[in-house]
């Protein structure tokens, strides 16, 4: 977020939730066309659980050290 703030990105341009996907997106895996374009319908179908989880989880906040912290991980 520090880099985003330095470059004066507005809130719509800053990532709120991120999920890392272990499966590579290749034409062989079915996620990309031979011209390397994402097959959106297949991606949406395969990643639906991750998409729902990201929209349902609280937005992560940046702590003073720069690391992202989920509200559920914070200790009172």
Contact 44, 51 (CB under 8 A): yes
Q: Write out 17-66 in H/E/C secondary structure.
A: CCCCCCCCCCCCCCCECCCCCECHHHHHHHCHHHHHHHHHCCCCEECCCC
pLDDT at 67 over 70: no
Q: Nearest 5°: phi and psi at 42?
A: -70, -45
Q: How far is 46 from 48, CA to CA, in rounded Å?
A: 6
Tokens representing 25 are: 């997106």
- Report field, pTM of the whole predicted structure over 0.85: no
**pLDDT (tens digit, 9 = 90+) per residue, 17-53?**
888 989 999 999 999 999 999 999 999 999 999 999 9
């Amino acid at each position: 977020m520090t880099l985003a703030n330095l470059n004066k990105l507005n809130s719509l341009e800053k990532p709120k939730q991120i999920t890392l996907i272990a499966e590579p997106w290749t034409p062989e895996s079915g996620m990309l066309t031979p011209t390397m374009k994402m097959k959106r319908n297949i991606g949406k179908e395969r990643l639906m659980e991750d998409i729902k989880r990201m929209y349902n989880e609280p937005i992560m906040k940046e702590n003073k050290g720069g690391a992202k912290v989920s509200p559920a991980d914070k200790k009172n």
